[in-house]
Chain A
Amino acid sequence: MKILVPVKRVADPENANKVKVAPDGSRVTTDGLEWKINPFDEYAVEAALRLNENAKSAERLGETIVASIGGKDAAQTLRQTLAMGADRAVHILAEDDALDSFVVARALKAIVDKEQPDVVVMGKQAVDGDSNTAGQILGELLGWPVASFAASIETSDGGKSFIVGREVDTGVLKVKITAPCVITVDLRIVAPGSVKNGATPAEHAYGEGARYASLKGIMAAKKKPIDEQPLAGLGVDVTTTTKYTKFELPPARKGGAKFVADVNELVALLKSEAKVL
């Protein structure tokens, strides 16, 4: 099947506590932090690759296209996913500050209209804005059904449908969704047995997490095409719906943990000082 995977680069989430705010509160600054692929998008790439391969025979079953909307350097993130095994990339050049979920969803719809994938597989949220909205909005704009928070995907009806296990607050909600459709993925989609495509033998054990790019993959990625075009060229409405008036760092916890000697001291302090017992 043909799968489109939108990806975003974010300031290194392992160091999100080093994100700062400009002195006038007008913007978030991530100076000194490396760009990394949004973890959920990396999982989406992994899920798409698993859907599109026979892991035993290494046969490829369909095309996996990655797409990103962002500045020049988003190309590096795309290149990384090409090295993982995606076939080609679309890069929509845009200023990050000019984007919100709606602009992103409209741009992705333009890509979908052109590429006509069977499925869009994407991360459930980007860990910078933490909004968790773009996938569902895209589904609405396309008139496609959406299965969000996918922790498992199993193809059925010869690849025309999917049984998706959605990880929800109260447990696992299973749906059957038919292509063309949008699936947004959660953390556990990269567990060893989370994706079943009917081609990779059921007993095949994937490693935990997203795959690393092999050296061969990295070399091959250099030759894979990235189709670059400006956002303005898509002819989509670029009106945003959100206006951030200011940013603030959260008040620091008074911090400096008080180290206690033993359980008795801890209980005494919880009782007399913290007054929580």
Chain B
Amino acid sequence: MTDILVIAELLDGKARKTTHSAINLAKQIAAGTGGAFDVLAIGDGAKAAAADLAGFGARKVFATQIDGGYVAEKYASTIAALGKGYGVVTVTASTYGKDLAPHVAAKLGAGVASDISGVSVEGGTLTYKRQMYAGNVFGFVQLTTAIAVVSPRQAEFEPAQPSGGASPVEDYAAAAADAAAARIEFISLEQTAKSARPELSEAAVVVAGGRGLKSADGFTNVLGPLVDSLGGAMGASRAACDAGYIANDLQIGQTGKVVAPKLYIAVGISGAIQHLAGMKGSKVIVAINKDKEAPVAQVADYFLVADLFKAVPELTEAIKKARA
């Protein structure tokens, strides 16, 4: 029997969707081992976020208000204090959870399995499946410590849906911050402009552009209409982000966002290994590229060899017609 503590990820006083993926993992482990899961909402606005998370079947939801912005040094001691009563502590596999997990693990003497894409339970032993080498190898790892700290990939764990009921919500007193907290101070979070499009990691359709689009204008005026004709999210290759065509937080790849939509359209992307690592879990992959030898062909289901500046507007029109 393994009890699990889910650490919610808060943004602007609300739990991000990544939290719901972590709840999905917690439910799988609880079901497989006969344990139960609790949730900890920690940060600014924790109380309201905890109330929002009360409908997901948790045994309990804890709330710890911490003022000011996030630094791990102010959060990890509280998470470790509560977490020591559990077999698994799960964070989110976003930059938030990836930053936090090792801090918590070190305090608990717990092993970490980061960015996992699956879990199996056999005789009470948990084995985590994770991608390594830019998604070119799956490793199956067990943690030999009493407590495990785990982060589940959002693309591989569907967000849990509310299951009704109301978990009791309790305040959990913050532990004293680390001594190191005196040497790190949150200054600001400059959020990227919010878009009317769906969030990249959650979209059913992702249209991503590469250096082939040649400019920021190419992203806005050539790729943009195609994205919107499909109701999808826009993504980009590292090369396009490096060139300044588009915001860094839309980068897809080994160290950017990992996506697994129903339909992925790669436009003017050659397909570097680190990019493929972030999208090859997509159900259907379409490539539009003028070079038919581009490595993206290794993973594409459909490949249109064409000049994207001609093909993309045509495709946009054809899709509008097909969906009308």
Q: Which A residues lie at the B interface, using CB under 8 A?
A: 11, 13-17, 19, 21, 28, 40, 100-102, 105, 124-125, 127-137, 139-141, 143-149, 151, 163, 166-179, 181, 186-188, 191, 208, 240-250, 253-255, 257-260, 262-264, 266-267, 269-271, 274, 276-277
Residues of B with C-beta under 8 A to A102: 106, 111
- What is the interface of chain A mostly: helix, strand, loop, or mixed? mixed
Residue among A168, A181, A243 making CB contact with B144, cutoff 8 Å: A243
A144:B180 contact, CB within 8 angstroms: yes
The interface residues of chain A lying within 8 Å CB-to-CB of B96 are 168-169
Q: Are A241 and B112 in contact (CB under 8 A)?
A: yes
Given contacts A175-B185, A249-B137, contact A13 B103 (CB under 8 A): no
Partner of A277, one of B102, B141, B292, B322: B322
In the A-B complex, the 5 residue pairs with the smallest Cβ-Cβ separation, listed nearest first, are A241-B111, A140-B106, A136-B102, A145-B184, A257-B303
Q: What is the bound-complex CA distance between A243 and B113, given in angstroms?
A: 11
User: Provided the pairs A174-B188, A270-B302 are in contact, do residues A146 and B280 lie with their beta carbons within 8 angstroms?
Assistant: no
Contact A176 B185 (CB under 8 A): yes
Which residues of A sit under 8 angstroms from B101, Cβ to Cβ?
Answer: 133, 136
Contact with A along B90-110 (1 / 0, CB 8 A): 000011101101110111001
Knowing A241-B144, A274-B301, say if A16 contacts B273 (CB, 8 Å).
yes
Chain B at the A interface: SS class: mixed
A127, A186, A253: the one within 8 Å of B133 (CB)? A127
Q: In the complex, given contacts A137-B105, A258-B302, what are 13 additional A-B residue pairs having Cβ atoms less than 8 angstroms apart?
A: A127-B133, A140-B76, A140-B106, A144-B180, A146-B103, A149-B99, A166-B99, A167-B95, A170-B11, A173-B188, A208-B242, A241-B112, A244-B139
* Chain A min CB distance to B157 (Å): 16
For residue B18, which residue of chain A has the nearest CB?
A169
Q: Tell me the bound Cα distance from A191 to B145 in angstroms.
A: 40
Chain B residues packing against A (C-beta within 8 Å): 11, 69-73, 76, 94-96, 98-99, 101-103, 105-107, 110-115, 127, 130-145, 178-181, 183-192, 205, 238, 242, 248-249, 254-255, 257, 262-263, 273-274, 276-277, 280, 283-287, 292, 297-306, 311, 314-315, 318-319, 322-323
Between B142, B189, B255, the greatest number of chain A beta carbons within 10 A of the residue's beta carbon is seen for: B255
- Contact present for B143 and A266 (CB under 8 Å): no
- Minimum distance in angstroms from B288 CB to a CB of chain A: 8
How far apart sit A271 and B136, CA to CA, in the bound complex (Å)?
A: 30
With A127-B134, A169-B95, A187-B255 as contacts: A17 and B102 at CB distance below 8 Å: no
Q: A145-B180, A255-B299, A258-B302 are in contact. Are A137 and B144 (CB under 8 A)?
A: no
* Smallest CB gap from A209: residue in B: B242
Question: Can you give 24 contacting A-B residue pairs, CB < 8 Å?
Answer: A28-B137, A28-B139, A100-B111, A105-B106, A127-B274, A133-B102, A141-B106, A143-B179, A146-B73, A169-B96, A171-B190, A173-B188, A175-B186, A177-B184, A243-B142, A246-B139, A257-B303, A262-B304, A266-B286, A267-B322, A269-B302, A274-B263, A276-B205, A276-B283
Determine whether the beta carbon of A263 is less than 8 Å from that of B315: yes
Q: Is the CB of B106 within 8 A of A247?
A: no
State the Cβ distance, B93 to closest chain A Cβ, in Å: 10
Contact B132 A136 (CB under 8 A): no
Contacting pair B184 A175 (CB below 8 A): yes
The answer on a CB contact under 8 Å between B302 and A130 is no
Per the bound structure, the CA–CA distance linking A191 and B248 in Å amounts to: 13
Q: Is the CB of A245 within 8 A of B142?
A: yes
Do B184 and A14 touch (CB < 8 A)? Answer: no
